[in-house]
Structure 1
């Protein structure tokens, strides 16, 4: 009876040529027609095994009037199986991926005092619709040389690498792709260095202010990857229009489009909702460390077990990607201060500032951090009308509830050790898609990110 009760409750509550000159005019294009249902397509043609999501829903739970429920969902220490996707600080809601049977158990656990609604009812289909229709992407030259096509879909790792190599070939004086390490699965770890040659730098000695923009720390957050790529494209466009801009004279840029190459590739071949990297752990049947819990500043061993999404490893910098980045900074930029660090994630439409590990620790220059954060939010609002909220990262991470939830983040590590200004931007949306943002949102979100970056750039070069 309870099984059918929860089922009925859920139903009721569902509310180029090689002469790649970047001839990019990113006007609007016709929205892609809806894909047919995955069940009507031979399973051998599915991008991944879509049946693994068949019985799951994405449920949004309002815990404002039930703090015990909120704590239970945040810590995820009970026997009820679900995957926590996100928490909205302002709305006091938590999104979880759960099946009907476990949702029934959750209702029973809290005496039906659970206010919820279904956000995604057909999770398999929603996952399916995030993949391009043409998965063999690198064989299509038009995709590589035409931005309207390139940014019309999410792109796999092979296609991204091909696109970046083509940009480097076209703009060898300003774009340099560096291989700074190798992942657990032996993929090259790449960063994109964007520097415009100039004899007139900030202090006359080449001491430019470095900006770092990263995406794809968590593998399933595809919109963060596409937004870094879009930012590279827009910076090239700005350079073509005004190569003498103070931005290029005084700043240089490091982009890491895919901070987690192994995990990102895994989302394209096996599990679209994978979060961690793919290295071995202490548990022989569990793979992956949450890279954003692995940095060596206020690192704490997580309460999550090795198979959990937030497993931090057994020691700081155990995640190879975090270690590669730390070694690169120490070996090549040991005396070079980074002025801005922007780490793109999804989803929530938030701008988070340090610290994540504790709400009791006050960051240096908190007033300036907040001023710039609200400036970034305003730039996004002026560009698209989207309202990004500004929070201390500790609130988003629930560090007041469990200290390990906010431990070992790239945000805190970079702010404490390297960067004058450091932020994590959690991109769209707050609505009905979560990590599965439709491809039609790639360009609008990219434009929001670029608007915020331009504000940051001018904030740094105009304050003199």
Structure 2
């Protein structure tokens, strides 16, 4: 009897061990002692990858990558990670894709998952290793956010990581934007310069690629894009050096590749910088507004209003050239809006002016949350505006060398040349109209001044003549006597109180007035 019970217990233990080591639907874990290979379950991988504190610290480059790996392992059903390129110092530029409508997402309802699966099967044959690109304006739903272009702007990296945190770890609060939009986020475009600013020079701005024949190192990645690039600074010692040629830097080439591939589906591009506390739209290379400046202004004001309602912080809105009071050529925002024809593109300059490029650690969470509040509302507004903006090469106000090349011959290029000349004529007419308006205002002002002069002359002529009396000569002696007389009169009118009488003080004051004291 005992032997039978022992055999039954032994069989039960064997079944239990087999159930643990065997593959189930929820994940498998098997260990092979002979070969030493180990297969780790998803739950165990979550424990292995620690989570950095992205809300209250400025993270190092390795910690940024660690957080991205953590997010991918925790939410593998709707988050993917891509390597866009490698920098001069062999660091990776990485992009995170957050696609809630991924057919592998278990949080999706069954009907939506079926539709997403059918759509995904159609485009699997393309063999695209990057984010999935769907043709047509109907699928124009990608929000692209990038940060860390300038090395010293640490707060932009933290704010971008906060956006990832809100869209993944707090996805239930942001389900509305996740259902309608796909997010591609590059939290650190310039990792070499970022690490150099952390360890060597806090105010370093450029990347770290050296130049032949120069002792100066680095290029401003936000002056290296191919839109009016030739107008940028050409001296290597400048903080805003444009580079040897367009896209000469590995960071900008990595950004160009992913942006060009996503251009058909790109809805809204947002570039994070600091510390101007403003939301700006193109153009940076010209002071003239773009064709859809009203929609861009509406989008910027939406973010401004949302941030103000969150904590009362006031952001400025306007074009890049108007708010910075200078022209900026070769920027990524102008490239995305002007060359790739993205419907909406903005620059968000984070606070704060008083603290410069390094707000204290205590303000990281506050700035990140308020910025996300504005970014989320701008994403909703962009989704509402997607069908109201029809971007085409002819929609730019200024002639763009990438969109409207100046052709020497050919019937197909005659329309482009005529459009170019018509834009020039319209610009000249607008400038003449401004000058006429200015001249008319000046002449109107001069007429008002002339009328005021005539009125003053008439009033002076009609005023009665009054005799002019010479002013009394005031000397120190007369002033002294008058003051003494007034003080003596005041004291004489007062009654006696406790102590000596006022007559003593009156006599002393009279003596002072007579000059005897």
What is the TM-score of this pair, normalised by structure 2? 0.57
Distance 1:257 1:296 in 2: 22
Distance 2:259 2:232 in 1: 25
Post-superposition offset of 1:282: 3.9
Would you say 1:391 and 2:318 are equivalent positions? yes
Post-superposition offset of 1:175: 1.4
Would you say 1:354 and 2:282 are equivalent positions? yes
Matches within 5 A, 1:111-126: none
Equivalent in the alignment of 2:211: 281
Does the C-alpha gap of structure 1 residues 462 and 356 become closer, same or farther in structure 2, counting only changes over 3 Å?
closer
Distance 2:173 2:246 in 1: 44
- Is 2:214–2:236's contact at 8 Å kept on the other side of the alignment? no
Post-superposition offset of 1:357: 0.3
Deviations 1:194-219 (A, max 9, x none): 11125457x97862500011111000
RCO greater where, 1 or 2, for CA within 8 Å and sep 6 or more?
Answer: 1
Give the root-mean-square deviation of aligned CA atoms.
2.4
Distance 2:189 2:241 in 1: 17
321-330 vs 226-235, which moves further:
321-330
Equivalent in the alignment of 2:163: 231
Matches within 5 A, 1:351-430: 351-360=279-288, 362-399=289-326, 405-418=327-340, 419-430=342-353
Equivalent in the alignment of 2:247: 317
Matches within 5 A, 1:32-43: none
Equivalent in the alignment of 1:340: 268
Distance 1:448 1:223 in 2: 13
Which of 300, 314, 329 is the aligned partner of 2:230?
300
- Is 1:280–1:288's contact at 8 Å kept on the other side of the alignment? yes
Distance 2:323 2:384 in 1: 31
Does the C-alpha gap of structure 1 residues 415 and 18 become closer, same or farther in structure 2, counting only changes over 3 Å?
farther
- Is 2:93–2:191's contact at 8 Å kept on the other side of the alignment? yes
Would you say 1:251 and 2:181 are equivalent positions? yes
Would you say 1:169 and 2:92 are equivalent positions? no
Distance 2:249 2:46 in 1: 36
346-355 vs 362-371, which moves further:
362-371
Deviations 1:138-197 (A, max 9, x none): x9x8xx436xx4322101101111111011111111111100111111111111111112
- Is 2:223–2:242's contact at 8 Å kept on the other side of the alignment? yes
Equivalent in the alignment of 1:128: none
Distance 2:371 2:209 in 1: 31
Equivalent in the alignment of 1:66: none
Deviations 1:268-298 (A, max 9, x none): 2211111001112244311100000011012
Q: Which has the higher helix share?
A: 2
Equivalent in the alignment of 2:495: none
Post-superposition offset of 1:349: 0.6
Does the C-alpha gap of structure 1 residues 188 and 19 become closer, same or farther in structure 2, counting only changes over 3 Å?
closer
Distance 2:88 2:205 in 1: 16
- Is 2:51–2:66's contact at 8 Å kept on the other side of the alignment? no
Post-superposition offset of 1:444: 0.8
Which of 212, 215, 234 is the aligned partner of 2:144?
212
Equivalent in the alignment of 1:125: none
Deviations 1:60-80 (A, max 9, x none): xxxxxxxxxxxxxxxxxxxxx
- Is 2:284–2:321's contact at 8 Å kept on the other side of the alignment? yes
Deviations 1:66-105 (A, max 9, x none): xxxxxxxxxxxxxxxxxxxxxxxxxxxxxxxxxxxxxxxx
What is the TM-score of this pair, normalised by structure 1? 0.63
- Any gaps of 5 or more consecutive residues in structure 2? 1-42, 104-111, 121-133, 388-517
Distance 1:385 1:365 in 2: 28
Does the C-alpha gap of structure 1 residues 372 and 301 become closer, same or farther in structure 2, counting only changes over 3 Å?
closer
| 1:413 partner SS | helix
Would you say 1:153 and 2:80 are equivalent positions? no
Distance 1:266 1:276 in 2: 10
- Is 1:208–1:252's contact at 8 Å kept on the other side of the alignment? no
Q: Which has the higher strand share?
A: 1
Larger gyration radius, structure 1 or structure 2: 2
| 1:333 partner SS | helix
Does the C-alpha gap of structure 1 residues 298 and 160 become closer, same or farther in structure 2, counting only changes over 3 Å?
same
Does the C-alpha gap of structure 1 residues 323 and 190 become closer, same or farther in structure 2, counting only changes over 3 Å?
same
* Residues paired across the two proteins, number: 314
